[in-house]
Chains A and B, each alone.
Chain A
Amino acid sequence: MATDTITNGTVSRARWQHLDTILATASPYADEDYVPGPNTVSALESSKILVIGAGGLGCELLKNLALSGFKDIHVIDMDTIDVSNLNRQFLFRQSDVGKSKAEVAAAFVEKRVPGVKITPYNGKIQDKDEEYYMQFKLIICGLDSIEARRWINSTLIDMVDESNPESLKPLIDGGTEGFKGQARVILPTLTSCIECQLSMHAPRAAVPLCTLATIPRQPQHCIEWAHIIAWPEQRKDDLLDMDDPEHVSWLYQKALTRAQEFNITGVTYAMTQGVVKNIIPAIASTNAIVAAACTNEALKLATDCAPFLSNYMMYTGDSESGLYTYTFEAEKKDDCPVCGQLAQNIAVDPVTTLEDFLGTLAERAEAQLKKPSIRTEGKSLYMRFPPGLEQSTRPNLSKKLEDLVSDGEEVGVSDPAFAIQFKFRLNFAK
């Protein structure tokens, strides 16, 4: 093979000899659809891929995709680079702090791997419409937000048009926390989706407000008190910014003083940041593992060179036995509010007020809706928008559920964070 690498702007094929050999030979594990050879390579090169998130997973994903032979990659991220990203987001340097993650990451990988085109978008996934998402062969998520995952999941499910196979966009999702992580493959409407699996990722139980207000016991309670009660009372004109050291210091001092009043020890600056920002520990190695597992699935989906993951791999790097993975098929739920046909059963106390019930929707593992509006088939119970309707439905908030709905009645709940409506069947607890 010639050693001239770039001739007339094209990159020598010689660098891809490992990949080319693997994609040119038959595998005993591959599906029948797999036809090794140049067609597979060109199918791979013409597969347009979207990466959502250019953070810890995103940086790894872009590198892996570029070195797996993908040529047309798009990446979305709304964040700018922070100094605390540098311990794992290896495409960024100290001098990049403050710049757009998507733009810096894209430029770096484009330069390092000639021949790959990476198109960054510095913004939110919600800025884009179905037409935009329709252009991709598949989508990979490397996100730290459950909300954004749920949004893209419901959007992709909504896009599926049974008469058009191209409208089904496989979604590969990675996530990490410390030494643990997961990779999953979702075929919208066909397999278990993010929403079906939502209860596997239950939110941390919130501390009751009365504990914070009157009987704190833990340093975290004092920090939450400073955050939720002291700040809005004493600094209501300032928008809390956890990246502002003065704001964090204020909360820390408040929490510390309160802790001392109650003889509670252990409030630190780092803990204050951790609690208020809900910081999740993150390291390079776990991101590398999960991102490589995800990219491996992208390569399989784009080339058919091996069967893809069906459909969930859980990775635990800090188990008692050292390392543990569990690969299994998560089940599709008939009553999934997004991809299922049936309403989800939900047990309620009939004497609870509508306001309290709506409040619980944020914490219930199967719902996790923060700004719900609710209606029955016949009437609006509470709508946040438009203002006129909000005003006319507000009196219902103080009414008991039993005065608004009947036992077993189906309600629709919408939330501005999602394109779709959630269906619940309210069963009165006996």
Chain B
Amino acid sequence: MTEEAPRETTPPPLQPIQAPSAKERKYDRQLRLWAASGQRALEESHVLLVVGNTAGSNTSVAGAETLKNLILPSIGHFTIADSAKVTEADLGVNFFLEESSLAKSRAEETTSFLQELNPDVQGHSIKDPLHDWLPKQDSLKPYNLILLPAEFPIVDTHPDPETVQDLRLLKPWDELQAAEKELGDLSQMTDHDHGHVPWLLLLLRYLQHWKQQHGGQYPSNFKEKTEFRSFVRDQARTSNAEGGEENFDEACAAVLKSISPPTLGSGCREMFNIDSCTHLTQASANFWLVANAIKQFYDKHEVLPLPGGLPDMKATSAGYIKLQTIYKAKARADIAEVTDTVRKLESSLGRPEQIAGSEIEQFCKNAAFVRVLTNHGKQPLPELRLLKGDEKTLTKLPAMLTSFQSISEVFLAMNIDFIPSSTLSELKALEDMIEGGTLEERIDKAIEEVTRTLGHEMHNTSSITGGMVAQEAIKLLTRQYVPVDGVVIWDGIRSRTEIVKI
């Protein structure tokens, strides 16, 4: 082959090629989601599966399926605690057992078949009954993910990219305003230049114009924004060739989405009000120091640090890069200010170690979407059989059951043992919003279905549960994405889910 010839035109490599490692190749499709940091957190984890054995709550298959979905992306270790022996019935629902497993320890057998899925993962098993090993001191120490702490902060929530743009069109800073002024008189531009002004600068220009004509006010409601949009559209040159003024099309399309004052999201507002954020101590987690510094930033500037991202838009290369540099520089300046505050806090609290700059930077970039899950009073995780006659949950049932398109009668039926019969009669008599009758039929059907299948597993149901539980585990272990707050019900008859908050 003549491979050499064409490559002569290529300049020598500017840096050595970093071809992906064997591990990066194997995990490529997930690294594109949670990146190396998420992968490291997964690999450092040890997940314990505790299999309950009471009739009607056999969790061995959902548990094995959950582990499958965690072993494949490579958690570090897993342990199965299950005192049962393998039965014939297990073979019909659990894929990680075979004929030869019969009458052996289910924990050991499932562990060994799951272990085959990924040599990077270590499997362990405990076949003693729960009441034998759990009371031992430190028996839960090796495992992550046991109890929720009082506060669980997540910085990297992976918001929808469409919603994250924060361009500050209504709060431009000096350098951005200067870039708009530098454009000069648009009418003097050549057609080419006119068609390559980034839409963002076009809007900044026309917003100034609008302000002058509207008593210093920006367009604020839908009507004004559509009026403003028509005004922008009218500024496009009709003499320019087809497609020549796409930047004006982009500007018009961006009006409704981009012309709003920056707001503080509810997640961030809640975070600012949590005690841990306002009352720092030497022992405060890094997260809270940065949160406090960002709160100070917000109190001073009435905006969060600029994330600094700029969407692609029609522009010349140089024009775009210049604008991008202005956004990046502002983001860096904001990070520097927050970092400065963090350093002052560190020194006033007498903390021995500095928080890494990269951690502060990541927080600043995601500030608008940070979430803190709270669990006041450090309640233990709700038990699988949730209600146990808990008064608070019982009082929520009527609203839950009568809400639009609810399938929560399934949840009720699965917990029927804990519902006082008087409560049940009252619930059945409630008016059903959708069907106009009472709830009785819906509740009776659900109870009948749960009763007829009691103690019996369908593999698909366990598998779907295992998929959802694994996703939630990945979220908690990587500290990325937003976990479910409540209990997910899956109804395989109607192919629907609902989240019930306990």
Contacts and interface: CB of A to CB of B under 8 A. Distances in A.
Contact of A284 (B68, B456, B483): B68
Contact of B25 (A16, A83, A215, A306): A83
Given A6-B99, A323-B499, A26 B452 contact: yes
Contact of B481 (A64, A295, A318): A318
A289 B29 CA distance: 17
A5 B102 contact: yes
A163 interface: no
A161 interface: no
A60 B25 CA distance: 22
Interface in A57-114: 60, 63-64, 67-68, 83-84, 86-88, 90, 93-94, 112-114
A280 B28 CA distance: 10
B88 A87 contact: no
Given A67-B92, A93-B116, A295-B460, A322 B499 contact: yes
Nearest to B116: A93
A3 interface: yes
Contacts of A282: 29-30
B253 interface: no
B449 interface: yes
Nearest to B66: A285
Contacts of B321: 217, 262-264
Contacts of A295: 460, 463
Interface in A10-38: 12, 14-19, 21-22, 25-29
B146 interface: no
Interface string B463-477: 110111011101100
B29 A12 contact: no
B183 interface: no
A249 B88 contact: no
Contact of B468 (A262, A280, A323): A323
B32 A279 contact: yes
B305 to A, nearest CB: 20
Contacts of B13: 253
Interface string A246-280: 00111011101100101110001110011000011
Interface stretch (A152-160, A231-239, A415-423): A231-239
B91 A15 contact: yes
A283 B29 contact: yes
A216 interface: yes
Interface in A268-321: 268-270, 273-274, 279-289, 291-293, 295-297, 299, 306-307, 309, 313, 317-321
B50 to A, nearest CB: 20
Interface string B4-24: 001101110111011110101
Contacts of B116: 93
Interface in A142-172: none
A248 B65 CA distance: 36
**Most chain B Cβ neighbours within 10 Å, of A17, A282, A318:** A318
A368 interface: no
B33 A281 contact: yes
Contacts of A14: 88-89
B322 to A, nearest CB: 9
Contact of B457 (A5, A18, A90, A238): A18
Given A274-B32, A285-B470, A288-B470, A319 B459 contact: no
13 contacts: A3-B103, A15-B91, A18-B458, A19-B92, A83-B25, A84-B28, A87-B73, A112-B95, A262-B317, A288-B467, A320-B482, A321-B499, A323-B499
The 5 closest A-B pairs by CB, nearest first: A288-B467, A322-B484, A289-B467, A14-B88, A67-B459
Interface of A: 1, 3, 5-6, 12, 14-19, 21-22, 25-29, 60, 63-64, 67-68, 83-84, 86-88, 90, 93-94, 112-114, 178-179, 183, 211, 215-218, 234-235, 237-238, 245, 248-250, 252-254, 256-257, 260, 262-264, 268-270, 273-274, 279-289, 291-293, 295-297, 299, 306-307, 309, 313, 317-325, 327
